Amino acid sequence: MKKTIAIALAAAAVGGCEPMSGQSSSAEAERAIAAAQQQQALNSMLYVGRKQLREAAKQQDLLSKDGRDALPLSGMTLVVKDNIHVAGMPNTAGTEALKDFVPSKDAGVVKRLRDAGALIVGKSNLHELAYGITSNNYFTGAVQNPVKPEYFAGGSSGGTAAAIASGIVRAGLGTDTGGSTRIPAALTGIVGFRPSLGRYPADGLTMISNTRDTVGPMAVDVATVALLDVVMAGEPATPLLDLSSQPIRLGVARDYFYQNLEPEVEAGIDKALALLKQANISLVEISANQLAELNHQVSFPVVLHETAQLLPKYLHDNDISSSAGELVESIKSPDVKLVVGQALAGAISTEQYRQAVDLHRPALQAYYQALFDSNKIDALIFPTTALTARPIKGSEETVTANEDGSGSLLPTFPSYIQNTDPASNVGSPGISIPAGVSALGLPMAVELDGPIGSDRKLLAIAARVEKILKPLNP
């Protein structure tokens, strides 16, 4: 009981889960159910667990009526990406071979959230098998961006982002392999967090890389993400540091993170940096000119080899009748079918994988840490994505350089993952924060990356940056 009270106090201290306008948990559950029905056209939700949700909300209301201490997440509606197990709800991972799989046990992170009072509304849509950045899923259908329908919501956690941005739920869970919480957060105007690898439990996930995959909380603001982080990490409840009067040094590495920006993003990020400078945040110009090569040596060699090991094991461990070969054959999204097929066919040898994990990844981690240490910076700051969202139709392989449809054609996947990928390979925390909108009203965002293990400090920095950038996000 003491721990519960402490968490509740921490929630208040970080601006966490205040009562939903005085509504009961049951009223909030009904609101979410109605909102999901009204927003069906977004295709953000694959499953709404009405019966489970109503029962959980009823139990919370009974506890409240009995005068018991409110749980820290009481009344907070959450959606869970459909590659994270929720007992009694389908876990398709957005692919046909898993369409009938219903786990009997919650993933560790889901259990922690339930125990803290979160109301699980249902499961969200995603890029098939979490292997893409648009959430244009040929099996479950494309997720539409609530800001501009017919534009993609980002991926692979696009359904979670769209459900939050549209107001169906207050917050949700995504997974992040190379940017899958941060990219959709950036493109829909919400906050997406990737924690240090290993910060949260990793059981009950349809994983494609044990070296890179992690669950990540997503919400409309940093305070809610910070509250979810405490619960998911199972840490003693402590409020975020107040950094309003403390010096903060942010590194600006233009020779990597500021390359290939569309003009709208470049102008928008310049405005954001100017506001930060006016607020006495120190912007330190640094070089990361070795980052591209080091990251390249780790990225795909790791994920492709680990996918080839993890997917067959997942099918076996969960008594799913499909073989790995049958799973590949059933994949509907051409981009995913190609890359997963290559992975399972042995595109990366064991020797290549071992070099990536044992040699290149430690070198990348050391280089990333040195950026913080040698420049005495608290975090890196850069555009989360180099481009704003693009129309769903025609963006499978390429997108235009400019949001008005002009300019050269760019490869879709690498153009959006450019800035989010390094932290994924390092295993360090990163958070995407809204930073204004383009001429077409499409969201832009900045990302903050910190050293491994600096999650709470990074969230505190993010809270300050969010406040400073508020004039860009009316």
| Average pLDDT along the chain | 94
> Is pLDDT of 126 > 90?
yes
- pLDDT category, 22, cuts 50, 70, 90? low
Q: Does residue 13 sit within a domain?
A: yes
Paired tokens of 230: 């405490």
- pLDDT category, 68, cuts 50, 70, 90? low
Q: Does residue 42 sit within a domain?
A: yes
Phi first, then psi: what are they for 381, rounded to 5°?
A: -130, 135
Paired tokens of 117: 């009072």
Q: Does residue 6 sit within a domain?
A: yes
Q: What is the pTM of this model?
A: 0.95
8 Å CB contact between 85 and 43: no
- pLDDT category, 64, cuts 50, 70, 90? confident
> Is pLDDT of 14 > 70?
no
Distance, CA of 53 to CA of 218 (rounded, Å): 20
Average pLDDT value for residue range 381-410: 97
What pLDDT sits at residue 190?
98
What percent of the chain lies above the pLDDT cut of 70? 95
> Is pLDDT of 244 > 50?
yes
Q: Does residue 433 sit within a domain?
A: yes
- pLDDT category, 114, cuts 50, 70, 90? very high
> Cβ-count burial of 143 within 10 angstroms (0-12 exposed, 13-18 middle, 19+ buried)?
buried
Residues 256 and 108 in one domain: no
> Is pLDDT of 180 > 90?
yes
What pLDDT sits at residue 69?
64
Neighbouring CB atoms inside 10 A of 414's CB total: 12
Q: Does residue 345 sit within a domain?
A: no
For 42-56, what is each residue's pLDDT tens digit?
Answer: 999 999 999 999 999
Residues 164 and 258 in one domain: no
- Of the residues 25, 26, 74, 81, only one is catalytic, namely 81
> Is pLDDT of 17 > 70?
no
Average pLDDT value for residue range 247-260: 98
> Is pLDDT of 142 > 50?
yes
Domain residues for the domain of 463 are 249-296+351-472
> Is pLDDT of 5 > 50?
no
Residues 153 and 263 in one domain: no
Residues 268 and 228 in one domain: no
What pLDDT sits at residue 2?
31
Q: How far is CA 67 from CA 22, 61, 71, in A?
A: 16, 10, 12
- pLDDT category, 65, cuts 50, 70, 90? confident
**CATH number, domain containing residue 466:** 3.90.1300.10
Residues 263 and 193 in one domain: no
8 Å CB contact between 379 and 458: yes
How do strand 379-383 and strand 249-253 relate by DSSP bridges? parallel
Q: How far is CA 231 from CA 4, 71, 108, 431, in A?
A: 10, 11, 11, 17
- Of the residues 44, 156, 166, 454, only one is catalytic, namely 156
Total count of domains within the chain: 2
Tell which of 233, 259, 285 closes a domain.
233
Residues 273 and 140 in one domain: no
Average pLDDT value for residue range 131-144: 98
Residues 267 and 136 in one domain: no
Element (H, E) at 448: strand 443-449
Paired tokens of 339: 């890359």
- pLDDT category, 236, cuts 50, 70, 90? confident
Paired tokens of 60: 């919370």
Phi first, then psi: what are they for 283, rounded to 5°?
A: -100, 115
User: Catalytic residue at 81?
Assistant: yes
Q: What angle do CA 14, 19, 25 make, to 5 degrees?
A: 130
Phi first, then psi: what are they for 124, rounded to 5°?
A: -105, 155
For 263-277, what is each residue's pLDDT tens digit?
Answer: 999 999 999 999 999
- pLDDT category, 70, cuts 50, 70, 90? confident
User: Catalytic residue at 330?
Assistant: no
What percent of the chain lies above the pLDDT cut of 90? 91
- pLDDT category, 18, cuts 50, 70, 90? very low
Residues 224 and 281 in one domain: no
For 192-232, what is each residue's pLDDT tens digit?
Answer: 999 999 999 999 999 999 999 999 999 999 999 999 999 99
Q: Does residue 217 sit within a domain?
A: yes
Q: Does residue 364 sit within a domain?
A: yes
For 301-316, what is each residue's pLDDT tens digit?
Answer: 999 999 999 999 999 9
Residues 227 and 286 in one domain: no
Is the bond preceding residue 156 a cis peptide, omega within 30 degrees? yes
> Is pLDDT of 182 > 60?
yes
- Of the residues 25, 157, 166, 180, only one is catalytic, namely 180
Q: Does residue 315 sit within a domain?
A: no
Residues 364 and 424 in one domain: yes
Residues 267 and 384 in one domain: yes
8 Å CB contact between 170 and 224: yes
Residues 109 and 146 in one domain: yes
What pLDDT sits at residue 89?
98
